[in-house]
Amino acid sequence: MTITEALILGLIQGLTEFLPVSSSGHLELAKYLLGSEQIPNEGLFFTVLVHFATALATIVVFRAEILRIIKGLFSAKGKEEQIFSVKIILSMIPAALIGVFFEDEIESLFTSQIGLVGFMLLITGLLLLFSDRKKETNRNLNYFDSIWIGLAQAIAILPGISRSGSTLATSILLGVKRTEAINFSFLMVVPLILAKIAKDMLDGSFWASSFDVAVLATGFIAAFVSGYFACRWMIILVSKARLKYFAYYCFLVGLIGIVASL
């Protein structure tokens, strides 16, 4: 993998992890368009690294909220933070179960199946369009909401289904107020990303290969910086109900992916 490829893929990961347009789908499209055989071969460690970069970007953006939750967990007066943590745990269960029991089947989907990616992007676009038309409410997220949102996150394992898009859309369609929807959507993924990174490191499957430090550093920095700004941008856009523009983008890219697969 060259530094240019690492820069492109890092930017794509950072932007599309938070923008509701599917990071996995865009990475598959980028690999297909770049036509580099080195990207899949070096891909595991690089993928782990750029996902860690986006998780770190989330932690930086929501650092005050995360610190408040951590303090609340160890405080007798932190009932609200403890309830929120339980909701996060509930939301993780569906994706964790699918990741454990269907890992091989999931990996088989990430084999340049551009037609599948395109079709899933169309579904993402429809979700965004419907949620954007949902009227604003002031309802707080409950335990059942967290399970439904967790199911949406599990479905988003499919390349082309946006994780942030599906969880945000599900939250809004359930009637959860937008500010809480975006906080929950972004915070719920951090434990999963960190757990997946830990699992990949313990498996040790990528340690046998040699890596170019400059390439990895480029991808990491690109994913972190773009992810930080994309996350801040999404907070503003969701509060103003501007998801329809991303829906149109998903329709366009999805159609391009389908046509390219023919």
Report yes or no: 185 and 47 within 8 Å, Cβ to Cβ: no
Of 229, 203, 140, residue with least CA distance to 176 = 140
Burial label for 254, CB within 10 Å (0-12, 13-18, 19+), is buried
Identify the weakest region by mean pLDDT among 51-65, 159-173, 204-218. Answer: 204-218
**Which comes out higher in pLDDT, residue 207 or 220?**
220
Helix segments in 62-109, DSSP class H:
63-73, 79-101, 103-108
Span of 40-44, 95-99, 228-232, 246-250 with lowest mean pLDDT: 40-44
When mean pLDDT is compared across 130-139, 153-162, 195-204, the lowest value belongs to 195-204
Residue type, 151: L
Task: Kindly state the tokens that stand for 48.
Answer: 């782990």
- Tally DSSP H helices, then E strands, for the chain: 13, 0
Identify the weakest region by mean pLDDT among 169-173, 208-212, 225-229, 238-242: 208-212
**Residue 77, pLDDT above cutoff 90:** no
